[in-house]
Amino acid sequence: MIFFQQVYQGSKNSDANLRKHLASSVHQVPNVLYASQTNDGSNVQVPVPVISPERKRELHTAAVNCILRDGLAFGIFREPGMSQFLQTAIPGYVGPNRKTVRQKIAKIYSSYTTKLRSVLSKVDFIALTCDLWRSSKRVHYISLTGHVFNTKYETVPIVLGCRRVIGRHLSTTIERYIEFELKRLNIKQEQLVSITTDNGSEMKKATSTLKFGNRISCMAHNLNLVVKRGLCLWTEPNPDE
């Protein structure tokens, strides 16, 4: 094939690749492509829609809220399947990566903590509940919840903190954790009226000093023990008892 006095050599079997090369942005030779090459979309550059910064922030916020609500992995929106779905649903949008998700969650957490301090500073009385539990993956956690009344005298539970516990569940560890959360949220001792816990020995020891208000044994836990022992669930009855 000869174009503009310049010789281009093609393959013996097909010159399709040669034609594609000539029509590329390097040479820009016109009218050399086969009809099938111009219709299959391989040489047609589809413009990618541009996502405005405001729209991108809105979509990122929605993605992070989705991760928080459903407990998804931080990098879920960069997985191949999800990325393909996003390009179909919202062409031009690329989901947030793990670093972006972490940064946004940190900002949300900081903002929530600031608002929570402001709300709790106006509350006269707070009742606490503290609990320890183990997940299905054998990871131990401890949580602290506050219970207050609103203006309609309806009880409102507020999660004050939840942390992973590493090591033994000593009473000193539990006590330090409760003190840490109360100090972090600027909750004063005179606001505390009671703390409800289960009957674990270390939990009872940590909360029986009146430092966190009167200790109350959890009625739901007590009823569970009564039913479990009354029906001999999980343990064989001892005839000597």
Domains located in the chain, CATH noted = 2-39 (no CATH), 50-122 (no CATH), 126-230 (3.30.420)
As a whole number, the mean pLDDT across the chain is 85
- Enumerate the β-bridge partners of residue 134: 140
pLDDT value of residue 104: 96
Q: Which segment of 10-14, 91-95, 137-141, 184-188 scores lowest on mean pLDDT?
A: 10-14
Top mean pLDDT of 46-50, 179-183, 205-209 is at 179-183
Starting from the edge strand earliest in sequence, which strands make up the sheet with 126-134, in order?
Answer: 155-165, 140-149, 126-134, 192-197, 214-217
Rounded to 5°, the CA angle 157-160-161 comes to 130
pLDDT value of residue 136: 87
Global confidence as pTM = 0.67
206-212: average pLDDT: 91
Cβ within 8 Å of residue 19, ≥6 positions away? 32, 33, 34, 37
Distance CA 89, CA 52 (A): 16
14-27: average pLDDT: 69
pLDDT value of residue 220: 84
The structure tokens 């600027």 sit at 186
Cβ within 8 Å of residue 139, ≥6 positions away? 164
pLDDT value of residue 228: 76
Better-scored residue on pLDDT, 50 or 127: 127
CB 3 within 8 A of CB 13: no
Statement: residue 196 has pLDDT above 60: yes
pLDDT value of residue 3: 47
Q: Which long-range contacts (CB under 8 A, 24 or more apart) does 219-228 make?
A: 225/199
pLDDT value of residue 129: 96
pLDDT value of residue 226: 80
pLDDT value of residue 185: 96
